[in-house]
């Protein structure tokens, strides 16, 4: 027998993209995720952190997450969710009373030495032991490690050292006759960022080697990096990736979930299942005429690089042509060309009107309407 697992992470409910709320997309995406769970009938659903986009989610975002977790539990699966770096761990812990009553294991912080260890038995009689490790900041890593009696020298070790000590202690509960699992919200050395993660928590100081995970683990379900991928290690280590592209830097990712079969005697098998309910993110480049000729469906958000000199009303014109354009910028290559050819002249003795005109020329914004507006304002305050 095996334990069947649905591994997901990095929902980021409450995300706003360039001022545009995405709550409707999240509802569609999580509804699709629940449909996958209904079709696959996993024994266990693991949500590896970043349920929310912000540590202070709106009531609407909270309602969406709670309903999604409840719906996943109603499929018959056992559900375990941990906090990510975007989540408020203490606030998630405050929901533990509801979660426990609903049959959901929610771990926002590490309360005690055995708190992250979740055990269970599938309907088929297979036991599993899951170390459910919420995101641990550098500061909290020392405090968490102190539960296991540090020496003075150990207290001054690196983040990776503290995480290694935590995992060594927590995986001591693994059994030879149980499916042994780990979930966490971590950056593992050698993994590839998805393009939309919070940089402060993916830098080298937070990166840990895959060798932290013991060979006795049958599967490690990670969150934090938004690209779905496997990471070489002593056991199967996988990021599920986000179920939707969080920002334009992730437009080429393949959102989805992972379906895992793990048993004590054989290596885990991992199968990706795509999620397609979110709007597509796409970057396009061109002149106004080229942009007008593009074929873009209504369910796509766009980042537009315009190959035109900056001028008043250009953004509005692009958005008339492409209603899905959330971000409109002058093509960086065009700006570099304009900047490289602009001739700087001596400033001494130049009138404000001439100085402003020179500035517009240098930045490629040679717009008569803007110059006239500057002249009128300058006269009014002069």
User: Does residue 40 share a domain with residue 164?
Assistant: yes
User: Does residue 312 share a domain with residue 349?
Assistant: no
Query: Is the pLDDT score of 47 beyond 80?
Result: yes
pLDDT in tens, 170-218: 999 899 899 999 999 999 988 888 776 655 444 556 788 999 999 999 9
Confidence band (pLDDT; 50, 70, 90) for 377? confident
User: Does residue 332 share a domain with residue 357?
Assistant: no
Confidence at residue 367, expressed as pLDDT on a 0 to 100 scale? 65
User: Does residue 140 share a domain with residue 47?
Assistant: yes
pLDDT cut 90: percent of the chain above it: 63
Q: How many CB atoms lie within 10 A of CB 357?
A: 17
The residue among 274, 299, 327 that closes a domain is 274
In this structure, what token pair is assigned to residue 79?
């559900």
In this structure, what token pair is assigned to residue 309?
């000199």
Number of structural domains found in the chain? 3
pLDDT in tens, 109-167: 998 888 999 999 999 999 999 999 999 886 655 454 444 444 444 444 678 888 888 89
User: By residue range, what is the domain housing residue 334?
Assistant: 279-339
User: Does residue 107 share a domain with residue 177?
Assistant: yes
Long-range contacts, stretch 361-368, CB < 8 angstroms, 24+ apart: 362/338, 363/310, 363/335, 363/338, 363/339, 364/309, 364/310, 364/330, 364/334, 364/335, 364/338, 364/339, 365/309, 365/310, 365/311, 366/309, 366/311, 367/309, 367/310, 367/311, 367/312
Widest distance between CA atoms in the chain: 87
User: Does residue 359 share a domain with residue 309?
Assistant: no
For residue 131, give the CATH number of its domain: 3.60.21.10
pLDDT in tens, 13-36: 999 999 999 999 999 999 999 999
User: Does residue 302 share a domain with residue 211?
Assistant: no
Confidence at residue 364, expressed as pLDDT on a 0 to 100 scale? 53
In this structure, what token pair is assigned to residue 116?
């992250």
User: Does residue 369 share a domain with residue 248?
Assistant: no
User: Does residue 320 share a domain with residue 349?
Assistant: no
User: Does residue 254 share a domain with residue 152?
Assistant: yes
The residue among 244, 274, 304 that closes a domain is 274
Confidence at residue 334, expressed as pLDDT on a 0 to 100 scale? 72
Query: Is the pLDDT score of 61 beyond 50?
Result: yes
In angstroms, the CA 216 to CA 178 distance is 10
Question: Of residues 368 and 303, which shows the higher confidence score?
Answer: 303
Confidence at residue 378, expressed as pLDDT on a 0 to 100 scale? 66
User: Does residue 326 share a domain with residue 260?
Assistant: no
User: Does residue 176 share a domain with residue 74?
Assistant: yes
The residue among 274, 300, 317 that closes a domain is 274
């Amino acid at each position: 027998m095996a334990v069947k697992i649905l591994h997901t992470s990095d929902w980021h409910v409450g995300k706003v993209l360039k001022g545009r709320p995405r709550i409707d997309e999240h509802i569609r995406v999580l509804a699709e995720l629940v449909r996958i769970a209904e079709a696959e009938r996993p024994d266990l659903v693991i949500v590896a952190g970043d349920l929310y986009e912000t540590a202070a989610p709106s009531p609407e975002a909270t309602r969406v997450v709670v309903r999604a977790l409840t719906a996943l539990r109603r499929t018959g699966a056992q559900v375990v969710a941990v906090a990510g770096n975007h989540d408020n761990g203490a606030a998630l812990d405050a929901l533990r009373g509801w979660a426990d009553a609903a049959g959901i294991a929610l771990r926002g912080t590490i309360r005690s030495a055995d708190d992250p260890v979740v055990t269970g038995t599938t309907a088929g009689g297979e036991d599993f032991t899951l170390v459910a490790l919420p995101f641990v900041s550098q500061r909290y890593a020392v405090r968490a490690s102190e539960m296991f009696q540090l020496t003075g020298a150990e207290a001054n070790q690196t983040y990776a050292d503290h995480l290694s000590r935590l995992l060594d202690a927590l995986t001591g509960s693994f059994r030879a006759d149980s499916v042994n699992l780990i979930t966490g919200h971590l950056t593992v050395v050698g993994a590839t960022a998805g393009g939309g993660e919070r940089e402060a928590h993916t830098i080298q100081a937070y990166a840990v080697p895959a060798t932290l995970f013991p060979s006795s683990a049958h599967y490690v379900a990670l969150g934090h990096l938004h690209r779905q991928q496997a990471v070489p290690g002593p056991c199967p280590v996988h990021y599920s990736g986000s179920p939707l592209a969080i920002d334009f830097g992730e437009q080429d990712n393949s959102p989805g979930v992972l379906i895992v079969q793990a048993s004590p005697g054989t290596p885990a098998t991992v199968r990706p299942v795509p999620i397609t309910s979110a709007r597509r993110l796409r970057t396009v480049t061109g002149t106004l005429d080229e942009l007008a000729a593009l074929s873009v469906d209504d369910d796509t958000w766009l980042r537009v690089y315009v190959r035109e000199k900056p001028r008043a009303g250009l953004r509005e014109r692009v958005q008339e042509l492409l209603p899905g354009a959330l971000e409109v910028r002058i093509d960086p290559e065009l700006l570099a060309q304009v900047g490289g050819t602009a001739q700087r002249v001596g400033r001494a003795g130049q009138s404000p009107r001439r100085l402003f005109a020179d500035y517009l020329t240098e930045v490629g914004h040679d717009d008569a309407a803007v110059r006239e507006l500057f002249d009128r304002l300058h006269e009014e305050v002069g």
